[in-house]
Amino acid sequence: MKWWRAAVAVVALLIVVVAAGGSSPVTLVNRMKDDAPPQLREPSMDVVIPQELPDVIALPFTVYLLVLTALVLFGLVGIILALELPRWRRRRGVRGVEIEDFEIGQTVSAVQRVEKALQEFTNHPRRPPRDAVIAAWLALEEAEERLPHQTPTEFTAKLGVDATVLKNLYQRARFGHEDVSAEQAQEAQRELGRIIRELA
């Protein structure tokens, strides 16, 4: 039985080889044959091929490059001016004059506002000590125009002199539950006199 299966396999293999040999797409070409190569035919329609590109095609790219170059140069000039102009102004002393004028005006107005605050004590001798301290502080704030976001500590720091004692007296009189004594009101008056002397 074994030889019969082997014979059928060999016959089937031969049939496949014969069938494949007749249907193969590969063909034999005789290399020895020296036929002339086929000639290319001229196209039947006349097609005009331009030899030079027109100038209109190159113009938009040139304009694009010019605009891009101008923008880059404009940006570089802007950066250089932004960096060098403040240095140039500092060398000429423009900022020093502005700061000096501002400091002079600030000193004069500080003396005037502290004198006004000191008058709050002397104009009303029968005022309760709590009201006297609060009135002096409010007069000081009105003269300086204290901003809404400023704390009393920030406000006194802007004066340029040490007003810590007056600030503490104001906070005790305004927000404290204890009574303000006449001695504390006199201390506030002495502090205002000291501020005037330091600012003068």
Question: Exposed, middle or buried, 194 (CB in 10 Å: 0-12/13-18/19+)?
Answer: middle
Which tokens go with 139? 């007069």
Q: What global pTM score does this model have?
A: 0.39
**What are the structural domain ranges in the chain?**
62-92, 106-199
Per-residue CA distances from 149 to 53, 152, 154, 183 (Å): 71, 10, 9, 31
Which tokens go with 191? 């502090």
Per residue in 70-110, pLDDT (tens digit) is 888 888 888 888 888 888 777 775 444 444 444 445 555 66
Which of the four pLDDT bands, split at 50, 70 and 90, describes residue 60? confident
Which tokens go with 127? 């005022």
Q: How far apart are the first and last CA of the chain?
A: 134
Q: Is the pLDDT of residue 152 over 50?
A: yes
Dihedrals phi, psi of 149, to nearest 5 degrees: -85, -5
CA atoms of 17 and 10, how far apart (whole Å): 11
Angle between helices 94-123 and 129-144 (to 10 degrees): 160
Which tokens go with 17? 């080889």
CA atoms of 83 and 89, how far apart (whole Å): 11
